[in-house]
Amino acid sequence: MTDRDADYVPALAYHWLTPLYDRVVAATTREREVKRALIVQAAIRSEHVVLDLASGTGTLALWIKQSAPGVSVVGVDADPAMIAIATTKVQRAGLVVPFDKGVAYDLPYPAGQFDRVVSSLFFHHLSPADKVRTVHEVWRVLKPGGELHVADWGPATSPLMRGLFVLVQLLDGFTNTRDHAAGRLGTIFEAGGFEQVAMRQRFSTPLGTLALYSAAKPG
């Protein structure tokens, strides 16, 4: 582990829970509906080059590849255990999707490489400072006119949803999730240079409200 990885926390907080990740996400986040909506929103075409940021176990990258077989998709994640699961998953599906190891605020790609960057249930894990660093890094690797599409926790649609979201905040930290609960994730995207920032849809889940955001890098 490098110094850069020293503060890394697994998606479910503990490494021993990583094998359960797919089952937990499917049971608590309306995963299929939300991720399918994110793919439709991103309007991905076969000629696009797409980055799945913090790709986890590879489900989103796999579904993108299946939705547009000619598309070039790459996933990046900081957790080798997640990368191993994702690689096995796409191999079993008979598809080719590479997964690279890297952190979101220091991506191992040249500037202007991607038409789309997509991300699901990742930004709320980041500290406020690392959210800002990550948005700037996403802006760097996108092509002019490229788009960012994010599914993550957003402002609650009801008092019940706000109460349920406290469970997420207890797990991932009130500081990291504060901007999500307040609906400020889009503001962070705008501060990073993105235009046409919008919250496109919201979904009620057993853990609170998930929101889909879109943003564009100026062409």
Residues 168-178, mean pLDDT to the nearest whole number: 95
Model pLDDT, residue 23:
79
Q: Give the mean pLDDT of the chain.
A: 92
Structure tokens that stand for 41 in this block: 């929103």
Check whether 18 has a pLDDT greater than 60. no
* Other C-beta atoms lying within 10 Å of the C-beta of residue 76: 23
Q: Which domains does the chain have, with CATH numbers?
A: 3-216 (3.40.50.150)
Secondary structure in 3-state letters for the chain: CCHHHCCCCCCCCCHHHHHHHHHHHHHHCCHHHHHHHHHHHHCCCCCCEEEEECCCCCHHHHHHHHHCCCCEEEEEECCHHHHHHHHHHHHHCCCCCCEEECECCECCCCCCCEEEEEEECCHHHCCHHHHHHHHHHHHHHEEEEEEEEEEEECCCCCHHHHHHHHHHHHHHCHHHHHHHHCCCHHHHHHHCCCEEEEEEEEEEECCEEEEEEEEECCC
Model-level pTM greater than 0.85? Answer: yes
Residues 105-122, mean pLDDT to the nearest whole number: 98
Separation between Cα atoms, residue 125 and residue 202, nearest integer Å: 19
Percentage of residues in the chain with pLDDT exceeding 70? 91
> Hey, CA dihedral for 75, 126, 209, 45, is it positive or negative?
negative
- Confidence band for 10, pLDDT divided at 50, 70 and 90: low
Model pLDDT, residue 22:
75
Separation between Cα atoms, residue 178 and residue 206, nearest integer Å: 19
Model pLDDT, residue 15:
52
Angle between the 31-42 and 59-67 helix axes, to the nearest 10 degrees? Answer: 50
Residues 29-53, mean pLDDT to the nearest whole number: 97
Closest CA to 120 of 1, 21, 15: 21
- Confidence band for 12, pLDDT divided at 50, 70 and 90: very low
